[in-house]
């Protein structure tokens, strides 16, 4: 990961990449994408509201549903 974090979520995408969302340190709105084929982490757009101790679910239409936890 680019940023250290705890209490985040990690979701396997249909592309085989992993989306890491939120967390409690240092920025709970930060999001990163990991490509296991190239072994590269990429920072992507942050959430408008930070979350930690939440869940992230990949829906059948490719959208993500982030629920629960606490505001960052």
The answer to whether residue 6 scores a pLDDT higher than 80 is yes
Rg, the chain, Cα only? 11
Residue 72 has pLDDT above 80, yes or no: no
Task: Yes or no: say if 60 and 14 are a contact pair by the CB < 8 Å rule.
Answer: no
> Binning pLDDT at 50, 70 and 90, where does residue 5 land?
very high
In the chain, where are the structural domains located? 9-71
Q: What is the pTM of this model?
A: 0.89
pLDDT tens digits, 12-67 = 999 999 999 999 987 789 999 999 999 999 999 999 999 999 999 999 999 999 99
Residue 25: what pLDDT?
Answer: 80
Distance CA 68, CA 42 (A): 25
User: Which residue(s) pair with 70 in the sheet?
Assistant: 52
């Amino acid at each position: 990961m680019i940023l250290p974090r705890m209490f985040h979520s990690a979701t396997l995408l249909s592309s085989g990449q992993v989306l890491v969302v939120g967390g409690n340190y240092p920025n709970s709105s930060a999001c990163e994408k990991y490509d296991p084929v190239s072994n590269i982490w990429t920072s992507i757009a942050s959430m408008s509201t930070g979350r930690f101790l939440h869940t992230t679910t990949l829906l059948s239409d490719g959208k993500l549903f982030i629920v629960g936890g606490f505001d960052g």
